[in-house]
Amino acid sequence: MTASTLHTTPRTPSRVQTSNTAQGLLLLRVALGVMYLAHAGLKFFVFTLPGTAQFFAGQGLPGPLAYVVFAAEAVGGLLLMAGVYPRQVALALVPILLGAAWVHAPNGWVFNATGGGWEYPVFLAVVSVVQWLAGDGAGALVRSERFTPGAMA
């Protein structure tokens, strides 16, 4: 092999590399699902759904939207953990996290600030986008279509 051949030969991932990527995406997907379930559980068990609706109304949002957000987080978390259309589910949940970031923006960056900051919801939104871009991961029950940048155009 010459130096020029090395630069023109397409790189193919090894089986180990592919397996590690799939396992990493599985870990990311399950962790993300657990976080969505934890957020839903917080709304249900700690703040209660009526209390969360009252908080939403106090933020200028429709109170009933709290029930929609709770359901999306709970169902979305379960679907992510099970691997049912995980890429689409992760992307569909991004607006919820961006809404949470908007609500917490006045409190500053750090999430442990009084009232919670915006960095944690933004981080979870980014992780959700990464899941959407990168793929389903190992063990998905219902796989998503593979993302191809040309398909979006």
| Mean pLDDT rounded to a whole number for the chain | 88
At residue 111 the predicted structure's pLDDT band, cuts being 50, 70 and 90, is confident
In a domain, 9, yes or no: no
Measure the CA–CA gap between 105 and 91, rounded to whole angstroms.
21
Residue 10 lies in a domain: no
Give the Å distances, CA to CA, from 138 to 26, 34, 68, 135, 143. 5, 17, 29, 9, 10
Q: What is the pLDDT of residue 110?
A: 87
Bigger pLDDT: 43 vs 109: 43
- Does 67 map to a domain? yes
Q: For the chain, what's the residue count?
A: 153
How many other CB atoms are found less than 10 A from the CB of residue 29?
28
**83 half-sphere exposure, CB direction, 13 A CA radius:** 15
Residue 39's domain comprises: 22-152
The whole-angstrom separation of Cα 137 and Cα 139 is 7
- Which phi-psi region, left, alpha or beta, contains residue 147 (left: φ > 0; alpha: ψ -120 to 50)? beta
Name the nearest CA neighbour of 82 among 71, 90, 93. Answer: 90
Confidence class for position 118, pLDDT limits 50, 70, 90: very high
Q: Count how many domains the chain has.
A: 1
**What type of residue is 151?**
A
- pLDDT computed for residue 115 by the predictor: 85
The whole-model pTM stands at: 0.82
Of 134 and 15, the one with more pLDDT: 134
Residue 58 lies in a domain: yes
Give the mean pLDDT of 16-21.
Answer: 80
Residue 34: what residue type? V
Amino acid at 136: D
- The two tokens of residue 68 are 């929609």
Over range 56-82, report the average pLDDT. Answer: 97
User: Does any domain span residue 134?
Assistant: yes
Is residue 46 in some structural domain?
A: yes
Q: In this structure, is residue 2 part of a structural domain?
A: no
pLDDT tens-digit map of 1-10? 555 555 555 5
11 in a structural domain = no
